[in-house]
Amino acid sequence: MYTNIQGTLDNLPMNNTFTLDINHIVIPQTCKLVIFDLDDTLRRYRQDTIDNHIVDILQLLKNNKIKIALASLNKMAKLDLVLYSIYHFFDIIESGKFDEEFVNEKEHQKYKSNTKTHMYKHIIQKLGIQSENTIVFDDNWYHCLEARWLKMKYIIIKKNYILKWSDLHDGINLFKSNKKRNSCTF
């Protein structure tokens, strides 16, 4: 029971100013959680605004009762989500911590040594969702590799771009085909 959106996606302009009617796109039931990075995934690094299609993608996920998480090394990520008026879409936010937030040096070193892996584990544990039912969208291939180690699906966002409708489509297809990842050119 999937809607074929490939024909629509192929005709999208490259600048992503066009948004889709999100009411007829169906996400597979096996997809329970989507984890996003912030910088160069949901927004261009240090961008003051967020593109309209990002809001539409987040709304689509919420309409389909998909949990949404943010895993970002950016210490200001929570504030940025508030400034962009998209904070309410996220069920859990894991972001870089300020040094004074750590209880002790051992915790700080553990966090620094395996940051995104730690974030991903914390998110799925807190939400009670299996890693196989999770997809990660990130612009850093190593962070996607960390997701793969945890048996999560992932899509690498092309450098100097942000998430596009076609990336979401590729992610949906991973759940349809039971693949772990989508190939990507850097």
The pLDDT, as a whole number, for residue 48 is 83
Q: Which residues of 73-102 are buried (b: 16+ CB within 10 A; e: fewer)?
A: bbeebbebbeebebeebbbbbbbeeeeeee
Residue 83 in any domain: the answer is yes
Residue 45 in any domain: the answer is yes
C-alpha span between 93 and 48 (Å, rounded): 20
Domain CATH for 96: 3.40.50.1000
Q: Rounded to two decimals, what is the model's pTM?
A: 0.79
147's tokens: 């997701």
The pLDDT, as a whole number, for residue 178 is 63
Residue 2 in any domain: the answer is no
With CA atoms as reference, report the closest residue to 31 among 163, 185, 136: 136
Q: Which residues of the chain have pLDDT under 50?
A: 1-20, 182-186
Classify strands 153-156 and 67-72 as parallel, antiparallel or unpaired: unpaired
| Domain encompassing residue 109 | 28-177
Residue 61 in any domain: the answer is yes
